[in-house]
Structure 1
Amino acid sequence: MIGTGLIPETYTFNLLMFALCDAGRAEDAQSPFDRMHVKGCSPNEYSFGISVRGYCGAGLVDKSFELIDEMKRFTFSPNAIVYNSLILRFCKEG
């Protein structure tokens, strides 16, 4: 889409990020998240939730905490998805 000159909306970026995370490619989902800023969109609470869920699912809890810190810059508070993702990961790790 970007290559053809169409500017995707946040919703479109979120769908792509969700699909990548579901496919076990959480680190690849960082690229659309970063491009969202450049293309005039802004991540929303769902964007952060998708990314945190993906990183937790991949065992990358440190990356999740980095995103939670970044959420604060956007004046978002972690929501149930974020907390549930972290709790699930911690339970899996014992």
Structure 2
Amino acid sequence: RKNGDIKTTREIERIGAHAKGHNQNSIGICYEGGLDCHGHPADTRTEWQVHSMHVLILTLLRDYPGCRVCGHRDLSPDLNGNGEIEPEEWIKACPCFEVKKEWN
């Protein structure tokens, strides 16, 4: 939630429905927001959301060591084969911020 509250919407043991082709072996995390006032993708996270997301991800990394942290868009296919997922290749724009900069 925008106030930083973390809500469980699917038990962690259940297969997710968040990233086609990756649900079997991943855990989906969502945040409320992601669109600006015009409906365009934007990093709209509040200070509390950023804090809660960091706490949640650090907890998950402790429970699942060695995992890769990435955004939906980072799971898009590399259509031109250059080894990089570029904005024109994104299936989804979310999470509307650079996960690699925050977690790699």
Class of the TM-score when normalised by the shorter of the 2 chains? 0.3 to 0.5
Higher helix residue share: 1
**Greater C-alpha radius of gyration:** 2
Structure 2 length normalisation: TM-score? 0.32
Give the TM-score normalised by structure 1: 0.34
